[in-house]
A = this chain, B = another copy of it.
C-alpha cells in the first residue's frame, strides 16, 4: 500500500544532514585545476588563502574528501530556517492533469529569500573561526549580500558589501535589509578603492557592473587587516555547502520511498544546481542509481548549451582564479534578463565537468515562457517564485505535460531556489504584456568566445 505523501515533507531535526557532500570525490575524471590568474599555474592553498579564509581555500582544492562535517555552530543556524520543505505539488499536478508526481525543494523561506544563506553562514563561520574582523563581497540583485549580512550579524562580524550602483539605486529596499542586519553597503564603483576611483574617472556616471564590484570587494579585503573576500556562487566550496539542498531532498524522498526519475535545477553560476544534484550525481558516478539531471539556463545567457568548455576568468576584473568551465567568455554581456542571478558568463567547474561527462543535460528557455510558467505556478501553489527558480518550473511543467501524453507517472523533482518579492518590476512587465525575449546570434557568441584567454593545460 502506498503511503500517502504529505503536501510538505519536513525532516525531523535529527534527520538533518550532519555532513556536506563533495561530489568531486566520486568523480574518476576530476574537474581541471583552477589557475592563478597571474602565473597561470594551478593555485595552492597558500595562494588562495591570501584572498579567502584558509579553511575555505582547503575546501576549494580538496578533490578527495567525500564528506565534510558541518560544524555544530552552522548546524544550529541551519536549524533556524532548515530543513527546507520538499513540497509535493498536488495542486499543480491537478491543474496540469498530469499523472506525474511533482516535487519541489523550496529554499525561499528565509529572509534572504534564497538558498544563498546555506553558504553565507558557512563562510562567515570560517572567517570568524580564523579570528578575522570581517568579510567583503559584492552583490548585484542583493540576495547574496542579504544572506551574507544575516550570517555576519549572527556571528557579530563586520560585513562590507559593494553593491552594483544601478541596483543600489533601483533596489533601495534590498539595501535597507542589509543595513538592518548591520552591513555597510557601498554603491559600486565607489571612491573608496583604487579600482573604483579609476573606473569612475574613466567612465563618469557609470552605473557599475558585477565585475567591477568584485574587483572593489577584493581590493577592500586585501587593504584592511583581518578581512577576507567571500563569493556566493561558482566556487566549488559554495557547491559543497549547497549540497545540503540535495542531501535533504534525497533524505526526504527516501523517507517516503520515492525514487526520483529526474532532477531539474536552474543554472547561473551553478551553485544551487550543483548542490541539488550532487548526491544524485554521486550515486550515478558510483554506479548505484540512475537519474535524468537537467540544467535550465536562460536563452539570453546559454553557457552550457551554446558556450565552449575552456579555461576562462571567473570575473571581468580578472582577479579571481581561472577555471575550466562552459563559458561564453568573461567579456560576454548578457542582455538585461530579469533573472539577474542567471546572468553569468560561465558555469561552476564541477557542474561543467559533470555535463561534459554526459551525466547531465541542459536546456535553454525563453524569459517570456519562464514568466508564464511562474504565474501559472503561483496561482495554484501559492508561492510567488523568483525568476531564476522559474526556469526550473518551466521545464518541470514541460516534463509533466510529456507524462500526460505518455501516461507515465514519473517522479519529477525540481529546485525552487527562492521567492520573487523583490522582482515585481519584472512581473509588472509580464502582467502588462511588454516583456521581450533576447537570443544572442551565433556571431555575437563567436565574438565573445574569440576573446577567451589562451591557456594550455
Contacts and interface: CB of A to CB of B under 8 A. Distances in A.
Interface of A: 6-8, 10, 12-13, 76-77, 79-81, 87, 90-91, 109-111, 113, 150, 153-154, 172-173, 176-177, 179-182, 375, 378-384, 419, 421-422, 424-425, 427-428, 430-431
Contacts of A422: 173, 421
Contacts of A172: 424, 428
A122 to B, nearest CB: 15
B382 A80 contact: yes
24 contacts: A6-B79, A8-B79, A10-B10, A77-B382, A80-B381, A80-B382, A91-B154, A109-B109, A110-B382, A110-B383, A111-B382, A111-B383, A111-B421, A113-B421, A172-B428, A176-B425, A176-B427, A176-B431, A177-B384, A177-B424, A180-B375, A180-B384, A180-B424, A181-B378
B428 A150 contact: no
Would you call the interface of chain A mostly helix, strand, loop, or mixed?
helix
A424 B173 contact: yes
A6 B12 CA distance: 9
A215 B319 CA distance: 61
B431 A180 contact: yes
Contacts of A419: 111
Given A384-B111, A424-B176, A379 B7 contact: no
Contacts of A378: 111, 153, 180-181
Given A111-B383, A176-B424, 11 more contacts: A6-B13, A7-B13, A8-B80, A111-B419, A172-B428, A173-B424, A176-B425, A177-B384, A177-B427, A179-B431, A180-B384
Contacts of A13: 6-8
Nearest to A152: B379
Contacts of A180: 375, 378, 384, 424, 427, 430-431
A8 to B, nearest CB: 7
A312 to B, nearest CB: 36
A169 B427 CA distance: 17
Contacts of A182: 379
A153 B378 CA distance: 9
Contacts of A6: 12-13, 79
B7 A154 contact: no
A431 B113 CA distance: 21
Nearest to A182: B379
A384 B182 CA distance: 13
Nearest to A91: B80
A181 B424 CA distance: 12
Nearest to A8: B79
Contacts of A111: 378, 382-384, 419, 421
Nearest to A112: B382
Nearest to A383: B111
Contacts of A8: 13, 79-80
Nearest to A379: B153
B379 A181 contact: yes
A361 B77 CA distance: 35
B424 A421 contact: no
B424 A379 contact: no
Contacts of A375: 180
A13 B8 CA distance: 8
Contacts of A176: 424-425, 427-428, 431
A358 to B, nearest CB: 37
A173 B172 CA distance: 13
A379 B427 contact: no
A79 B10 CA distance: 13
Nearest to A174: B424
Contacts of A79: 6-8
Contacts of A380: 153-154
A111 to B, nearest CB: 5
Contacts of A381: 80
A5 to B, nearest CB: 10
The list of the 6 closest CB pairs from A to B, nearest first, reads A173-B424, A7-B79, A176-B424, A153-B379, A6-B13, A111-B384
A382 B7 contact: no
Contacts of A80: 7-8, 87, 91, 381-382
B379 A154 contact: yes
